[in-house]
Structure 1
Amino acid sequence: PKKGAYVPPITEAEIGAVMQARSLVEEWCARQAAGFGDMLAVELDRLVALQMEVQHDPVAFIERDREFHRTIVRAAGNPVLADFYEGLRDRQLRMGVHAVTISGGRGDSVLAEHAAIVEGIRRGQPEQAAAAVAQHLARTLVALRLPTAASWGAVATGRRPAVAAQ
C-alpha cells in the first residue's frame, strides 16, 4: 500500500484526441516523406525488420513502432511538427502496448500495415503513403477501443487484463 506509481486510465476522449493528432501529423508527413522514395524506404525496411524481431515483447515492439513513425515525421522536414509529435510519446507508448497486448494478432497486422506505408514511400506516391497511414491509424483506433477503459491501468503496469470472450 502507498507504494508504486499510479497510472491513470486513458479515457475514450483522450484516445480520440491523440489519434486525431497523429492522423493530421502523420498523413501530412507521409506525403512529404514520399519524395525521398527508396532512400527512406530502405531505412524504414530496416526498422520494420527490427520490430519483427521483438514481436514477443510488447514494450520493445511499440518502441520500434514509435521509431518507425518518428522517422517518417522527421523526414518530412518540419521541426515544429516533429517536436509536437514527440510530445505525444508517452501516451502513444501506453496506447500502443495496450493495443498489441489486448488484441490478438495486432502485431502481425501492424507489420503488414507498416509494409504498405513503406511501399507508398518507396514508389514516391504521396497519396498512397498517406492512405496507408490513414488505414493503419484507423485499425489502431479500432484495436484501442476493443476493451473497456478499466483495463488501461492494468496494461500500463504490465498486468494483462481479463477480457470477456466476444
Structure 2
Amino acid sequence: MAIILPLPFLLKRFRYCRDNVLSHSYCLYPEVMKMACSDITVNSIYGFFTKLLLMGLDSLLIFVSYVMILKTVLSIASHEECLRALNTCTSHLCAVLLFYTPEISLSIIHRFGKGSSPLLQNFLGYISLLLPPLMNPIVYSMKSKHLRVRIIRVFVK
C-alpha cells in the first residue's frame, strides 16, 4: 500500500488540458497520466517501477513457494500422489499466467506503445479485467475428471 499510495498524489500535481474522457470503463493510471499537459516522465517511470516491483515480488514469492512445494512433492513415495500434487500446481500456474500476462501486456502498451491501436488497448484492458475471474473456475475445474468430462461433453455436442 505504501508503494501505491503516492500515485494519486503524483497525478494531482498535474495540470490537465486534454480530453477528460477515459477509453476504459475503469480508471487506469497510465491513461489518466497521459491527459496531463505537463511532463509525465517521473510518473511514468514510477508507475512502471511499482508495477514491476509488485509483480516481481509476487513472482519471486510464487517461485519460492513452488520450489518448496516441488521439494516436498518429489519426496512423496507414491508416484500417483506425486502426479496429483503436480496437477494442482499446474492449474495454479495457469491461473497465475492468466492473471499476469494481460496485465503486463497492457502496462507495456500504455507506456511504450505510442502508435498502438486504441482498440488493442481497450481489448487488453477488458481482458485483464474480466479474463482472470472468468477463467479461474474453468482452470481449476479441469482438474476434476467428473467436471472435465461434463465440460467437454457440452462443447462436443
Task: Give TM-score, length-normalised by structure 1.
Answer: 0.36
Larger radius of gyration, structure 1 or 2? Answer: 2
Task: Give TM-score, length-normalised by structure 2.
Answer: 0.38
